Amino acid sequence: MMNTIWNNFIELFFPRLCVSCKRLLIEQEKHLCLNCLLDIPKTNHLNETNNQLEVFFAGRFPFVHMASFAYYVKGGILQKIVHQIKYKENYQLAIMMGELCGKVIMKNGDKFSDIDYIVPVPLHPKRLKQRGYNQALALSKGISDKTGIKIDVGNLIRIINNPSQTKNSRFERWQNTEGIFDLKNKTIYKNKHILLIDDVVTTGSTLEICAKLLLSCENCRVSIYTLGLAV
């Protein structure tokens, strides 16, 4: 009772608003109102053969499965969500979005039924200190909470803190990602199926570099799941 009164008092001065439409949230809603949650442009990748993401990466490196949770459109709901996650330190929103991804994975469990580890794309320690947390790891935690798949963090590492690549071309992004990641111990992923996690696919250069590093481990297989696919 006291907690409810206190929370109501706090919300008088700091109202909980939907991160997308800024509407006042009701008690049962978290971060997003129900309308915006339902309006997220979700993909159907896990029910499609040779889905859009798999076609995008075809021929670049061998993979088992690939999928994105939703489409990332400029000015759209997912862009606002990702902005909150990456630049507004909204860790709990990242966890929630990971849980939504995990529910989709569980619903289509045959695709990722033999995954051994979830591995988030890492941040450089300097970037991690600036941001406060790794959004890919937060997404991974949400996915792990729903699927029960273990997360392995600290083996795939970022050794070069390259600048933001938002305005770079695909070729420039590829150049800037070469040599920035490393693996501490390749034997950990020997004979394993890894689910590589990132927030948004744009050119795919970061995921490609990470996947190729994982595939350098003996008999390692790689699948990829992301929160968004830029279109």
pLDDT in tens, 138-148: 999 999 999 99
Q: 3-12, 17-26, 71-80: which has the minimum mean pLDDT?
A: 3-12
Higher pLDDT residue, 111 or 184? 184
pLDDT confidence band for 9 (50 / 70 / 90): very low
* Phi and psi, residue 36, nearest 5°: -70, -40
Tell me what the pLDDT averaged over the chain comes to: 91
Residue 108 is predicted with a pLDDT of 86
Residue 110 is predicted with a pLDDT of 86
For 172, other C-beta atoms within 10 Å of its C-beta total 13
Question: CB-based burial of residue 219 (10 Å sphere; 0-12 exposed, 13-18 middle, 19+ buried)?
Answer: exposed
For 28-48, write each residue's pLDDT tens digit. Answer: 999 999 999 999 999 999 999
What is the residue type of 84? Q
Q: Work out the average pLDDT over 150-159.
A: 97
Q: Work out the average pLDDT over 118-123.
A: 97
Res. 209: pLDDT tops 60: yes
Q: How large is the greatest C-alpha to C-alpha distance in the chain, in angstroms?
A: 59
Q: For residue 85, give both structure tokens.
A: 């996650």
Residue 216 is predicted with a pLDDT of 97
Among 105, 100, 95, smallest CA distance to 67 is for 105
Edge-to-edge strand order for the sheet containing 221-230?
Answer: 66-72, 221-230, 193-201, 117-120
Pairing of strands 156-158, 117-120: unpaired
Write down the pTM of the prediction. Answer: 0.89
For 155-200, write each residue's pLDDT tens digit. Answer: 999 999 876 555 556 556 556 667 899 999 999 999 999 999 999 9
Return the C-alpha torsion angle 6, 8, 13, 19, nearest 10.
120
Res. 3: pLDDT tops 80: no
Helix (H, G, I), strand (E, B) or coil at 55: helix
